[in-house]
Structure 1
Amino acid sequence: MGRLNDKIAVVTGAGRGIGKAIAEKLASEGSTVVVSDVDGESAAATAKELCGGAVGLHADVASKESVEAMIDEVRTRFGRLDVLVNNAGWDKAEPFIDSSESDWDRIIAINLYGTLHTTKAALPLMVERQSGSIVNLGSDAARVGSSGEAVYSAAKGGIVSFTKTLAREMARNRINVNCVCPGPTDTELFASIGGDNPKLRESLTKAIPFRRLAEPRDLANTVAFFASDEAGYLTGQTVSVSGGLTMS
């Protein structure tokens, strides 16, 4: 028996990377997972790999209409939603002084507005049943700063604050809301923003007490706990999964 038996879970940005690992973990714990991604083909491919009747649905979290259409499909197919994992994200690493407003807009649209859009669309399904769990993916960049990620850090800082406030508002509806902050994690996104630089990887690894980058499954394990009934009395919490790089 899994910790998430019979739960319906939506994971955004689940076609690859951390999101895919989360979808795999939730499915292995008994959830029926809705794999959502802006790349509909990767969403469908991931869903096909999972057990438990998983489905893949296209959604661009930066678009309110796209997200609402995805959540409407979840309501039509399943009639309820028990777990929402706001994982979709994007970044472009560069010094703030060299950054452009168009990149600011995209970073904020995906990382901050994406979570707002999806949460706003999903909450009515949870309020109807007076139960649910929302897990937002923040970032340690929001907690301690990260050179070259000023706007991303700002957007993820918004996620941390949003998590706390929403947790207070939704407690009366027995909906818990928590935040998981990845440290440096070995993903395609990390590689695309400089993580494939051997010197950077080596310096980061030396700085992490566990002497390795996080793997997507490390994040997935923590998300699965927050999504489960075992975390039913936890809300408004932010946890870093960083191998000890950040401690608070």
Structure 2
Amino acid sequence: MTAILNLAGKVAVITGAASGIGRQTATLFHALGARLLLTDIDADGLAAFAAELGGDVLTATHDVTSEEAWHAVFGQVDAAFGRLDILVNNAGIMVSKPFADAGIEVLRRQMAINVEGIYVGMRGALPLMRATVAAGAPTTSIVNISSVYGKVGGAQFAAYSATKGAVRALSKAVAIELAGTGIRVNTVLPGPVATNLGASWEPPTDADGHPLTPEAALAAWTTLIPMGRLGEATDIAPLIAFLASDAAAFITGSEFIADGGYTAA
């Protein structure tokens, strides 16, 4: 995959880049020659990661629910690079709670980060992406990270599933509106991935209502995956890189599942 991809000279913003899929995506983009502005709410983790990458990687501490914070991010991109080719909306949280116990605050918290953050980010990216296309870029690319739980239901994930389903629908609608502008919008739906969700991880409960450890929850998911293993961030990042690249210039409004057969079973 990496041999046919080329992101040299492209400017990318990746949210939630301090860990997990965001971190691996940034690592791959950097190796493929992209110029990066990485954002995360975890300032220390982001700074440490950027130092590991080296080069001219820029960072921003970023609450994706804040429109002002998004304006600052795109202002930083404009000042440093004068263009924007790629936006990867990866930041998100996953909260598991039985539906009967999940008050409206459980939905609102995840909706703010998982959906409103993407909505505001896409709108904020438009001026820079339009300018990039006007300057001669074949296309620009927005890749939004949803989840297989946005396509199928997950017990104890009603609110999370609602937000990730919203990401799918939002992405398709925006893709249609922007199809003639050179701005592409696609969605990636990872299955269960052995990645660090940090403070956002609130694992499901067992039959008696006791919280499962992350290890136990992931082990339970593994038994449901036909390929017999959890996904890794390295399974998802190349797909994101493909959609971000000019190799995907005719792809927009589509969704791509990477789940080891989880939704096919």
Which amino acid counterpart does residue 176 of structure 1 have in structure 2? R
Instruction: Quickly say closer, same or farther: Cα 1:33–1:76, change in 2 above 3 A.
Output: same
**TM-score relative to the length of structure 1:** 0.94
Match of 1:226 in 2: 243
Q: Is the 8 A contact 2:151 2:165 kept in 1?
A: yes
* SS in structure 2 of the partner of residue 10 of structure 1: strand
2:254 counterpart residue number? 237
Letter in 2 for 1:164: K
In 1, the alpha carbon distance for the partners of 2:47 and 2:83 equals 21
Stretch moving more, 38-47 or 93-102: 38-47
Alignment match of 1:126 (pick from 104, 129, 140) = 129
2:121 is the counterpart of 1:104: no
**Structure 1 residue 247 corresponds to structure 2 residue 264:** yes
Cα displacement string for residues 92-126 of structure 1 (whole angstroms, at most 9, x for unaligned residues): 10111101222222110000001011111111100
> What TM-score, normalized to structure 2?
0.88
* Unaligned residue ranges in structure 2 (runs of 5+): 134-138, 205-211
Q: How much has 1:192 moved relative to structure 2?
A: 4.3
Measured after TM superposition, the shift of residue 204 of structure 1 is: 2.1
RMSD between superposed Cα atoms in Å: 1.8
The one of 8, 11, 28 aligned to 1:8 = 11
Tell me what 1:144 maps to. 152
Q: Partner letter of residue 152 of structure 1?
A: Y
Q: Which of 174, 199, 203 is residue 220 of structure 2 equivalent to?
A: 203
Aligned length: 248
Contact 2:192-2:218 at 8 Å conserved across structures: no
5+ long unaligned stretches in structure 1: none
1:84 to 87, 91, 112: 87
Aligned runs of 1:12-27 on 2, under 5 Å? 12-27=15-30
Higher helix share: 1
Question: After superposition, what is the alpha-carbon deviation per residue over 1:65-106, rounded to whole angstroms, capped at 9, x for unaligned?
Answer: 111111111111111110000000012101111012222221
Give the partner amino acid of 1:211.
Answer: G
2:164 is aligned, of 156, 171, 174, to: 156
Aligned equivalents of 1:52, 1:3: Cα separation in 2: 18
Deviation of 1:154 (Å): 0.8
Amino acid at match of 2:203: I
Give me the whole-angstrom Cα distance separating, in 2, the residues matched to 1:117 and 1:3.
28
Q: Give the conservation status (yes or no) of the 8 Å contact 2:194–2:218.
A: no
- In 1, the alpha carbon distance for the partners of 2:61 and 2:42 equals 6
Q: Using the TM superposition, give the Cα deviation of residue 6 of structure 1 relative to its aligned residue in structure 2, in angstroms.
A: 0.5
Shift of residue 51, structure 1, vs aligned partner: 4.6
